[in-house]
Amino acid sequence: MIFEDLSAFVAVARHGSFARAAVDLCIAQSALSKRVQRLEQRVGVPLLERRARGVALTEVGQVFLARAERVVAEVADMERNLSAVTHTPSGEVRVAMPQRSCALLAPPLIERCRAELPLVDLQVLEGTPAHVHAWLLSGEADIALAYNPELGAEFWIKPVLVEPLYLFGASPAVARKRGTPLPEVCSLSDLANYPLILPKKPHSIRVLIDRLCAGHGVRPNIIYEAEGTHTIRGMVERGMGYTVFSKSGWKYAVDSGALAVAPFSSPLVNWRLCIVRHRKDISAVAVNRVNEILEQELDALVVSGAWPYARRAAE
């Protein structure tokens, strides 16, 4: 059984289409079709039912897919970790980052890896904190940047940056018309009085606020849960409520006067940016080298002031 045929079958089954799988694998659709046909001839039964709009798995194909996926995943894992044996950084390394970190961090990371690690195929996965969390759990990311991660013992977690969080409200002019102006300093108990617009779980800020409030016997006055921070910022600017976020993330809105901020009296109201890896990959040379460069570039951002209000976690 040829591995390329097995991989082709898995790709077609996942995409439900020869055309989409061919685009994903960057090969001709005719060549992909031949690989799957060769595999079906090898096993002696049809694995896919060809239809006018895509394909569907046969009953045998469903059983075969489960085992084929495990084989393909195991081979991919072996390729990624081959550098741990050869001691030469090589192979694919996948780094997942929250969207707000990518513009600052991804370009220098990619530039240095291309110059210093020519045999490493660096892939940067950009997404929401929820996406990053999912990529970690599914094994799609070798390294991830995550805020206040709450993961199992199978993950290695290193805090690298600490950033205070603030209570955000509308500009004073809007607040006078539609709400209550912010206090000079906010306490955790104030979160029971201000109408809050917060992200849904498992967003790190929401998990943090829920945990801190529960620990202090405070019930936060949450009036709306939003999927994304852009929606939250827009609602707060209109005076529809208040939220908790980092000042660096919305610095331009604060500087322009569209948002007002108040610091928290408790030093516990902060988020920690952590580097997270699965412990099974802890000896992979390529992953370790990319991890080193990532930490160095994070330090450089703090020292240069490009990441305002943040400090090193060890400080």
Domains for the chain: give ranges and CATH numbers. Answer: 3-80 (1.10.10.10), 162-271 (3.40.190.10)
CA dist 35 and 214 (Å) reads 57
Among 34-43, 73-82, 290-299, which is the least confidently predicted range? Answer: 73-82
CA dist 254 and 83 (Å) reads 46
CB 121 within 8 A of CB 130: no
Per residue in 180-238, pLDDT tens? 788 899 999 999 999 999 999 878 899 999 999 999 999 999 999 998 889 999 999 99
Kindly compute the dihedral angle of the four CA atoms of residues 20, 25, 29, 33, in this order, to the nearest 10 degrees: -100
Of 248, 103, 261, 100, nearest in space to 181 by CA? 261
CA dist 12 and 39 (Å) reads 13
CA dist 181 and 194 (Å) reads 10
Tell me the mean pLDDT in the region 103-117.
Answer: 94
pLDDT of residue 258: 93
Q: 211 is written with which tokens? A: 């945990």
Is pLDDT at 179 greater than 70 in this prediction?
Answer: no
Is pLDDT at 87 greater than 70 in this prediction?
Answer: no
pLDDT of residue 166: 96
pLDDT of residue 23: 86
CA dist 246 and 126 (Å) reads 19
pLDDT of residue 86: 58
**What 8-state DSSP symbol labels residue 305?**
T
Residues 6 or more apart in contact with residue 79 via CB below 8 angstroms? 91, 92
CA dist 193 and 203 (Å) reads 22
CA dist 65 and 49 (Å) reads 14
Give kind and range of the element (H or E) at residue 76.
helix 59-80
Per residue in 235-273, pLDDT tens? 999 999 999 999 988 988 999 999 999 999 999 999 899
pLDDT of residue 242: 95
142 — phi, psi (to 5°)? -85, -35
SS3 313: coil
Q: Is 139 left (phi over 0), alpha (psi -120 to 50) or beta?
A: left
Per residue in 32-41, pLDDT tens? 899 999 999 9
Is pLDDT at 93 greater than 90 in this prediction?
Answer: yes
Tell me the mean pLDDT in the region 292-314.
Answer: 90
Among 77-86, 190-199, 254-263, 291-300, which is the least confidently predicted range? Answer: 77-86
Is pLDDT at 64 greater than 70 in this prediction?
Answer: yes
Instruction: Give the Å distances, CA to CA, from 51 to 56, 58, 101, 109.
Output: 8, 12, 43, 44
Is pLDDT at 283 greater than 90 in this prediction?
Answer: no
Residue 288: Cβ within 10 Å count: 17
First to last CA, the chain: 56
Cα 114–chain centre separation: 22
CA dist 16 and 108 (Å) reads 37
CA dist 2 and 8 (Å) reads 10
Residue 80 pLDDT level (bands cut at 50, 70, 90): low
pLDDT of residue 212: 94
Mean pLDDT of the chain: 89
Which residue type does 219 have? R
Q: How do beta strands 259-263 and 155-170 pair?
A: antiparallel
Residue 143: Cβ within 10 Å count: 21
Q: 301 is written with which tokens? A: 């951002």
